């Protein structure tokens, strides 16, 4: 049976890729053929040879057990770091839902545990007519919510979970990600979220000073089901 999960977050730059890499690694350790899939990305880094790469794609590929090319992991990419639907409009490069589904289908032929990382938050537009959540609904994907523990996250987390439920989708759980090293209210944030969020807490990611040297064995996270 193929397992597919869509990873969304309470905002942009809140650690979706890092959390995804942790989940991919843990699923690989359990024997799954894992693959990270980022259908749409924006923001690329220029190499010395003049070519470009997306850091998120690099991390997903590194932590997947299935060998995939960059285009398979990330079929639609933009160099600038800006909302995808705006870049799509300005560059006349359409983001079509059927194209995202086509590449997802190809990955399911090679993997049996797939983590699909969104862009930004739940309602990130892909065009002037539809959002990322519309595609998730069409694919009937289970959702994992990443909550960055910071001021405002409680409201954002509650709203996001309600939005997921409103689409008649399953939220398989949420993960608390500590993005600030000295937040003395972290435990209070998490306890409040436990009182309001109906989905199970899958784990807590501690503040990571160097994401390139993650000790996966020390991070206690349950895999979504």
Alpha helices (H) in the chain, listed in sequence order: 16-29, 55-62, 70-73, 84-91, 97-108, 132-139, 153-166, 186-196
Three-state SS for 57? helix
**pLDDT value at residue 215:** 77
pLDDT at 213: 67
Which helix (H) or strand (E) is 159 found in, with range? Answer: helix 153-166
Pick out the residues of the known binding site for Mg(2+): 17, 56, 117
Average pLDDT, the chain: 95
Is residue 38 annotated as part of the catalytic site, yes or no? yes
3-state secondary structure of 124: coil
* Other Cβ atoms closer than 10 A to 36: 28
Residue 30 is given by DSSP the state T
Q: What domains sit in the chain, N to C, each tagged with a CATH number?
A: 3-218 (3.40.50.300)
Which of 4, 25, 38, 150 is flagged as catalytic?
Answer: 38
Checking DSSP bridges between strand 142-148 and strand 171-177, what pairing results, if any? parallel
Q: For the chain of 225 residues, list the mean pLDDT of each consecutive stretch of 10.
A: 97 93 96 98 89 92 96 96 96 96 97 97 97 98 98 97 98 96 94 98 90 75 95
pLDDT of residue 45: 92
C-alpha triplet 81, 86, 90: angle, nearest 5°? 100
Tell me the sheet residues that pair with 9.
Answer: 121, 146
Cβ count near 170 (within 10 Å):
15
Which pLDDT score, from 0 to 100, does residue 212 have?
A: 65
Residues forming beta bridges with residue 144, ordered by sequence position: 7, 173
Q: State how far Cα 63 lies from the chain centre.
A: 14
Residue numbering of the annotated binding site for substrate? 42
In sequence order, what DSSP letters do the residues of 162-198 get, joined into one string? HHHHHTT--EEEEEEE---TT-TTHHHHHHHHHHH--
Alpha carbons 211 and 207: distance in angstroms, whole number: 9
Q: Which residues of 94-112 are buried (b: 16+ CB within 10 A; e: fewer)?
A: ebebeebeebbeebeeebb
């Amino acid at each position: 049976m193929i397992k597919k999960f869509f990873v969304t977050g309470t905002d942009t730059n809140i650690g979706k890729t890092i959390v995804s890499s942790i989940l991919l690694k843990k699923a690989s350790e359990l024997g799954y053929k894992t693959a990270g899939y980022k259908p749409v990305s924006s923001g690329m880094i220029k190499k010395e040879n003049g070519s470009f790469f997306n850091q998120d794609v690099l991390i997903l590929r590194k932590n997947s057990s299935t060998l995939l090319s960059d285009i398979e992991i990330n079929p639609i990419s933009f160099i600038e770091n800006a909302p995808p639907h705006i870049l799509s409009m300005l560059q006349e490069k359409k983001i079509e839902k059927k194209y995202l589904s086509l590449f997802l289908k190809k990955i399911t032929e090679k993997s049996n545990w797939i983590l699909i990382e969104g862009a930004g938050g739940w309602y990130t537009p892909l065009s002037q007519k539809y959002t990322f959540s519309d595609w998730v609904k069409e694919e009937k994907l289970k959702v994992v919510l990443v909550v960055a523990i910071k001021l405002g996250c409680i409201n954002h987390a509650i709203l996001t979970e309600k939005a997921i439920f409103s689409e008649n989708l399953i939220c398989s759980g949420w993960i608390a990600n500590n993005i600030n090293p000295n937040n003395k209210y972290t435990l209070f944030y998490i306890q409040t979220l436990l009182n309001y969020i109906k989905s199970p807490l899958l784990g807590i990611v501690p503040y990571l000073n160097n994401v390139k040297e993650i000790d996966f064995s020390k991070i206690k996270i349950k895999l979504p089901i």
